Amino acid sequence: MSFADIGETRYRPDAARVFEHGWQSWSPTGAYRLGDAPPRAADVNIQTLAYRPETPVPDGVFQGEGLLAIDPGDGAPVEVWSAPSPLEVPSIRAREEGGRLVVSANGDVRHWQAEGGLDQALRGWADTMAEGWAPERFPAVPPMWCTWYGYWGKVTDADVLENLELSERHRLGAEMFLIDDGYESEIGDWLDWRPEFGSLERAVGAVTEAGRRAGIWTAPFLVGHRSRLFREHPDWLVGGAHAGHLWDQDLAVLDVTHPDAAAHLVNVFATLAALGVTHFKLDFVYAGALAGTRHEDLDPITAYRRGLELIRQGAGPEATVHGCGAPMLPSLGLVDVMRVSPDIAPTLHPKSGDISQPSQLGARLTGAAREFLHARWWVNDPDCIIVRPEVEAREEWAAHIDATGGLRGSSDPIAALDTWGLETTRRLMVPTRTEPS
């Protein structure tokens, strides 16, 4: 749909702020002054990977995905412009024009005014959107240890076993061990192990025998062009959908509306659950909401939600479903834990200058801006604790994690931690808060 003007508001130029809510986990989110230049995608590939690809933002325009809030800055109520539900998420824009902020959208929008300032308006919006979709309570989730930021794609089963033992020895309190990207042979071939990884059965078995929960990473809606699935089942792919370029290959999208592809997706998660996995980190799931030609004529958000339902069917009702790179509003009610920021990195600033990409700065800014979602929509995941000596500004990152109520997960090789790193990790590894801020 094209954009149509739907309202306007006056403002105080030196004090007004516009809150943009990003489309998915990695999309920058925050409140900006009128003279600011909000973060935008550095290139076309990043627009696909971390923003909303179908609605790039024109210059000089503010844009939120399903939410745009304007604090006029003069004491007047905050103007809230919102998606009507998680099933219908318009892009909402604001532009300066003749001393006013003119608001437009490319779909149906609800509008109201909120007293008490911007922070209170955001909390009220989250409560309103959660009604009838999110659970009423969010039990505490224990801390975890994750392979990714220590071993990247070269993780082995021996690395998992070593850190399982070191976590116990140093009393770090990790109750779940998450095997991240690197165990699989190719993106899309989740039941084919990379030979250098070793045995997934061995790693998961060691974790569960130690009385801990086992977690695993997948990117369930991505199909890499090098994968066996891509070669053998081209009919299982969303026609015309391009999910970006990463892992040195183009990425296609699994069509969850195709009966055989749907059965395959359920089987992947049922097989992993049968190994003893109970925590499923679903990454890059923005792909499931990309436009394209599907076997069944569903709109992208409905197809995305069906994909999450199929995953839950395979994983089991008691499994923990953990979204990442995920459309925020369309995931409401279907995930237990949600990444609310871009990836952390050992560096303070992103290499591309785009704060949707891995960096401490991007993770801090967007994570803090979305803290109000914790225990309202799901358990927030602010990303992992990494505090080994070579991590830039590690004290600041530890302070950010300490200020959040969300999931705590160490991702350093425990043997690489110095005394301060061990003490800080031990202090931060606590269960999630059960009440929202």
Give 100-137 pLDDT, tens digit per residue: 999 999 999 999 999 999 999 999 999 999 999 999 99
Average pLDDT, the chain: 98
pLDDT reported for residue 1? 77
pLDDT reported for residue 213? 98
Q: Is 119 a catalytic residue?
A: no
Cα–Cα nearest to 114, from 61, 63, 68, 62:
68
Judge whether residue 33 has pLDDT over 90: yes
Q: Find where tokens 């008490």 sit.
A: 116
Contact 106, 55 (CB under 8 A): yes
Residues in the chain: 437
- Rounded to whole angstroms, the Cα distance separating 145 from 165 reads 12
Provide mean pLDDT across the span 293-298: 98
Percentages (nearest 5) of helix, strand, coil residues in the chain: 30, 25, 45
pLDDT tens string 254-279: 999 999 999 999 999 999 999 999 99
Q: Is 354 a catalytic residue?
A: no
pLDDT reported for residue 127? 98
Burial of 298 (0-12, 13-18, 19+ CB in 10 A): middle
Reported as a pLDDT band with limits 50, 70 and 90, residue 169 is very high
Judge whether residue 144 has pLDDT over 90: yes
- Rounded to whole angstroms, the Cα distance separating 335 from 176 reads 17
pLDDT tens string 186-215: 999 999 999 999 999 999 999 999 999 999
Residue 144 CB contacts under 8 Å (≥ 6 apart), including other chains:
174, 175, 176, 177, 178, 215, 279, 407, 408, 409, 410
- Rounded to whole angstroms, the Cα distance separating 52 from 73 reads 29
pLDDT reported for residue 81? 98
pLDDT reported for residue 8? 96
Spot the catalytic one: 283, 336, 381, 412: 283
Judge whether residue 409 has pLDDT over 80: yes
Percentage, residues of the chain above pLDDT 70: 100
- Statement: the pTM of the whole predicted model exceeds 0.95: yes
Instruction: Return the ∠ at Cα 334 (arms to 363 and 64), rounded to 5°.
Output: 50
Provide mean pLDDT across the span 208-232: 98
Judge whether residue 14 has pLDDT over 90: yes
Provide mean pLDDT across the span 65-84: 98
Instruction: Return the ∠ at Cα 249 (arms to 244 and 252), rounded to 5°.
Output: 50
Q: What are phi and psi of 133, to 5 degrees?
A: -120, -45
Provide mean pLDDT across the span 290-299: 98
Reported as a pLDDT band with limits 50, 70 and 90, residue 422 is very high
Provide mean pLDDT across the span 232-256: 98
Spot the catalytic one: 189, 343, 354, 412: 343
pLDDT reported for residue 340? 98
